Amino acid sequence: MHAITVPQPGGPDALVWAEVPDPTPCPNEVIVDVAATAVNRADLLQRQGRYPPPPGAPPYLGLECSGVISEVGAEVSHHRVGDQVCALLAGGGYAERVAVPAGQLLPVPAGLSLVDAAALPEVACTVWSNVVKLAGLRAGESLLVHGGGSGIGTFAVQLGAALGAVVLTTARAAKHEQLRALGAHHTIDYTAEDFVARARKLTGDGDGGVDVILDIIGAGYLERNVETLATGGRLVIIGLQGGRKAELNLGALLAKRGTIFATALRSRPIAEKAEIVRRVHDQVWPLVASGAIRPVIDRRLPLSQAARAHRVVEGSDHLGKVLLVAGEESALS
């Protein structure tokens, strides 16, 4: 088979379309012939040599995929050759075939194409596990989503709105209309506005606060995120785009009885991922099937053009996911 490889870490041109060995399934795995995968920020970091795959994961990039099962391991009983699926991966999606633990498979949601289903597994599992399971977002509460125009952001905006939360999001002004169409009640231009003051004003009479914040920035926003929290608020940090280290005013956090979580999905044990996938299937997939949540796809490119896709994601103009489609005949843009 062929896969996108990284012989030497570097920029997008470090990605090389090469012939590699075919995967073989372990007893609890299936082989998926990949129809499409999606570009995530973790892929950019792995390409740069800053985010190696966890032990036992394929060496290739790609944290999710969609496709058709072509082989089934000896201990797999609930999936068959020919099933159309999408999957949460620890790596390996940038390839023509990938081995997947059976517990990390999801059916293609009703009404969604096989290719477009590749945009959902990683964002759905990340957002649900952090916003719902960990932070416990409830109807009537407020949710602030940083980076609303990203794949994570566009999904989190929709899920928060579907759950009955008041959704605020930060993004460049050019993306505000589309984010409001996805369900955001309030949009904040982080390049021109103080998101702390604006969020507090929007959630109260000048002294409000946000119940749950989903943050991809990390250190650069830590102090301001704590300031933005409501009493009993929960801050969930899932990215470090703004740095790894910052001072934390514990007095401010204590005064608000706030909670800070910092999590990663990729490195979790297979059993934990399987439980998250099961809950996503039960709680989120019906929202996708009903149309309350849809994948937001900026563009689709051939898998062999992964370097071009990485350049798009490294920019700031795209909205939602960039998909990589297997097969040169699928040269979509």
Strands 321-325, 297-302: pairing kind = parallel
Predicted local distance difference test score (pLDDT) of residue 159: 98
Query: What's residue 333's pLDDT?
Result: 37
| Pair 227, 256: CB distance under 8 Å | no
Q: What's the pLDDT tens digit per position in 197-220? A: 999 999 985 568 999 999 999 999
Give residue 316's pLDDT.
86
Sequence-ordered list of residues with C-beta below 8 angstroms from that of 174, at least 6 positions apart, any chain: 317
How far is Cα of residue 295 from the mean position of the Cα atoms in its chain?
A: 11
Both structure tokens of 291: 């149309």
Q: What is the pLDDT of residues 316-326, one digit of tens each?
A: 899 999 999 99
Helices (H), 16-64: 41-47
CB 277 within 8 A of CB 105: yes
DSSP state of 95: B
Residues near 150 by beta carbon (within 8 Å), at least 6 away in sequence: 41, 216, 320
Residues 232-251: pLDDT tens digits?
999 999 999 888 999 999 99
Q: How would residue 185 be classed by pLDDT, with cut points 50, 70 and 90?
A: very high
- Element (H or E) spanning 126, and its range? helix 121-127
CB distance 50 to 56 below 8 Å? no
Q: CB–CB of 20/5 below 8 Å?
A: yes
Residue 120 has pLDDT above 80, yes or no: yes
Q: How far apart are alpha carbons 179 and 182 in whole angstroms?
A: 5
Q: What is the pTM of this model?
A: 0.95
* Dist CA 272 CA 293 (whole Å): 24
Arithmetic mean of pLDDT, 178-196: 97
Q: Angle at Cα 310 formed by Cα 308 and Cα 316, nearest 5°?
A: 105
Token reading at 184: 């955001």
